[in-house]
Amino acid sequence: MSRHLSELRIVFIYFIFASGWILFSDFVLEFFIKDMNTLASWQTYKGLFFITITSTILFFLIKTHTSKLYKVQKELEGTKQRLELVIQGANLGYWDWNYETNSQIVNDTWLSFLGLQRDDIANSIIDWSARIHPDDIAITTNAIAQTIEDFIPYVIEFRMLHKDGHWVWIEGSGAVVSVDAKSGKPLRLAGTHKDISNRKKAEEKISFLALNDPLTKLPNRFYLKDKLESLIHSQKDIKFAFLFLDLDYFKNVNDLYGHSEGDKVIQEVAERFKNSMNTSDFIARAGGDEFVILKQNIDTIEEECKKLIQVLEKPFIIKGLEIHLGISIGISLFPKDGTNFEELFKNSDIAMYVAKENGKNRYEMYQTKMTDSIVESVKLDNEIQKAIENDEFVVYFQPQINLNSKKVIGAEALVRWKKPNSRLVFPDAFIKKSEENRTIIKIGIIVFKKSLEQLLRWKSNNLFEGILAINISAVQLEEDDFAITIENICKEMDIQPTDIELEVTESYIMKNPQKSIKTLRNLKNLGFNISIDDFGTGYSSLSYLKQLPVDKLKIDRSFIKDLADNNEDRAISKTIISLAKNLELEVLAEGVETEVQRKFLEDNLCDSVQGYLFSVPLDSEAFYAYLKSL
């Protein structure tokens, strides 16, 4: 408004000046010039002068105005170029919609998002909106309608159809940029579009990884929990089974063939499980070699578990070799055994643990008493740890007798747990648990040191010239620094490794023969004697046995117990003795308690024996007295 007033003021001033010039200039000329011809000439000069002056003034006014217009134009062009550069740099598609004519224009970047050329599409807004995904039409329509109503810009995400048929994710923004001055009706809307398909794919991948296992593509534990809670709230009286599955012997696959091959096995296991499931079942990978299946049909749960066990009966092929795996399954029922995820998971895990304890490759239904057993197991864990801290483990010794000379040629160190109440706990009650929680490593070192201390005492008093046998757990042998540790202990105590016999079980050796051969050879090279304990109870291969750096075979007491009456035990004992002789190994029989047993072993050329017939295991003082009495 002020701009128009200024223009009118200028015109008015010009009008007054021009009128005054015309009126007063003629009056002045007529006053001074009386001659009409001269007056006419001066009036002509006056007109030319007026034209010249006004033309000059107009020139400068026009020049000033055009300079301002040119400057504004340059600024607008600069702003436009900068805006285009920003839009181009941000890879933004620009659109401008004429709301009155319902036509729209876009830039080349916008077209490129959809793989279009200018000729591929008209300028009608209808042609553009027809490319929006059906599920997203409401989003875009509502956003535009709201913007037109309240003039607030919008930012939304939606999909548009690409020329080749796939959907492109777009981040769209828009605002009213022109309004009718009188009616307030929007005249133009404009905004930008950005292709965010890659970002959406990344978000989908992140979302997938948050709820799914990347290896098997199965739902993970978080997804499982959400599914279970949703299932619980879906129906009032719903019942379902929570199956916790854990592969048997899978650790052997990773140890023997590496984790890459192990991952392939896990993937195949997942596929087998999925293919055997009902459509209403839900499966998830809980972690490692553990899976969980939710089954709503609990009436056939045992048959379903048998089917799951059967799908793993077909061997897995790893590097051309057949590998057999099993599955232990623990089952808890909702709501009987738990009313939430944590309770069902915990109780099915307990039932699975019991299935492992009862032989593996089987299923067990959760029972309350199982929890009591786990509580006792945890209690035992704590007691073993405290026993280590309080030095409650002691060593007993049982003499080994040569059948020919009848002399003591060795002794076996046997661990006992002497509790504060003086009650003596035998190995069967704690060795297995200590191997599970790996406290056997510390216990083993305690036994090794205490045994060597007694050996030094016997030797310093010239009471013992034999070999001291010490049992070694498979868990200890799997430690990388085990050989170095016991070698250093021998050096510190000035004991020769040749005075020590390390007893390893046959089952450990056959668990991983090649690794066992390497480990035992390392110990043998350090000077230790090696014996196979409980021989005959496992499944030794003669091809491996002849490669092992073994000095002695120990016949298990289970074959000695019924020698007098059992022909099979006698045959097995004879075979073991004969095998040892042929392999140039010593052979010792454990658990000899009668003269009949001793006589049989002596007649069949067994080298040595140990058992109650000669002496029960004795504590350090009693064994010292025993040696002195010889």
Q: Which domains does the chain have, with CATH numbers?
A: 2-86 (no CATH), 90-202 (3.30.450.20), 217-366 (3.30.70.270), 382-629 (3.20.20.450)
Q: What is the mean pLDDT of residues 499-518?
A: 83
Q: Give the confidence band of 469 by pLDDT, cuts at 50, 70, 90.
A: very high
User: Coil, helix or strand for 478?
Assistant: coil
In angstroms and rounded to an integer, the radius of gyration of the C-alpha atoms of the chain is 49
Q: Report pLDDT for 588.
A: 96
Q: What is the mean pLDDT of residues 112-140?
A: 85
Q: What is the mean pLDDT of residues 211-228?
A: 92
Q: Are 490 and 500 in contact (CB under 8 A)?
A: yes
User: Coil, helix or strand for 155?
Assistant: strand
User: Of 72-86, 116-130, 162-176, 595-609, which range is least confident?
Assistant: 72-86
pLDDT at 230 over 80: yes
Q: Report pLDDT for 6.
A: 56
Q: Give the confidence band of 538 by pLDDT, cuts at 50, 70, 90.
A: low
Sorted by sequence, the CB contacts under 8 Å of residue 12 that are 6+ apart come out as none
Q: Are 47 and 25 in contact (CB under 8 A)?
A: no
Q: Report pLDDT for 498.
A: 96
Q: Report pLDDT for 342.
A: 94
pLDDT at 14 over 70: no
- Can you name the residues that pair with 156 across neighbouring β-strands? 172
What confidence tens digit (pLDDT) does each residue in 247-260 have? 998 988 888 888 89
Residue with tokens 């021989």: 535
Q: What is the mean pLDDT of residues 61-89?
A: 62
Q: Report pLDDT for 155.
A: 93
Question: Can you say whether residue 359 is alpha, beta or left, with left for phi > 0 and alpha for psi between -120 and 50 degrees?
Answer: left
Any alpha helices (H) in 283-409, and if so which ranges? Answer: 301-310, 341-357, 368-389
Q: What is the mean pLDDT of residues 477-496?
A: 94
Q: Report pLDDT for 1.
A: 47
Q: Report pLDDT for 543.
A: 65
Q: Report pLDDT for 371.
A: 85
Query: Phi then psi for 551, rounded to 5 degrees?
Result: -105, -25
* CA distances to 71, 218, 266, 537 from 290, in Å: 75, 12, 9, 31
User: Of 114-128, 178-192, 266-280, 445-459, which range is least confident?
Assistant: 114-128
Q: Report pLDDT for 585.
A: 93
Q: Are 620 and 397 in contact (CB under 8 A)?
A: yes
Q: Measured over all CA atoms, what is the biggest interatomic distance in the chain, rounded to whole angstroms?
A: 177
Cα atoms in the Cβ-side hemisphere of radius 13 Å centred on 56: 5
Burial environment of residue 36 by CB neighbours within 10 A (0 to 12, 13 to 18, 19 or more): exposed
User: Of 109-123, 145-159, 250-264, 425-439, which range is least confident?
Assistant: 109-123
Higher local confidence (pLDDT), 73 or 324: 324
Q: Report pLDDT for 55.
A: 74
Q: What is the mean pLDDT of residues 459-488?
A: 93
Q: Are 102 and 144 in contact (CB under 8 A)?
A: no
User: Of 16-30, 392-406, 575-589, which range is least confident?
Assistant: 16-30
Q: What is the mean pLDDT of residues 509-523?
A: 83
Higher local confidence (pLDDT), 567 or 515: 567
Q: Are 344 and 356 in contact (CB under 8 A)?
A: no
- Choose among 324, 302, 301, 304: nearest CA to 312: 324
Q: Report pLDDT for 376.
A: 85
pLDDT-above-70 percentage for the chain: 89
Q: What is the mean pLDDT of residues 454-473?
A: 95
* CA distances to 1, 286, 456 from 360, in Å: 94, 19, 45
Q: Report pLDDT for 119.
A: 82
pLDDT at 87 over 70: no
Token pair for residue 265?
A: 């096995």
CA 618 to mean position of chain CA atoms? 51
Higher local confidence (pLDDT), 598 or 40: 598
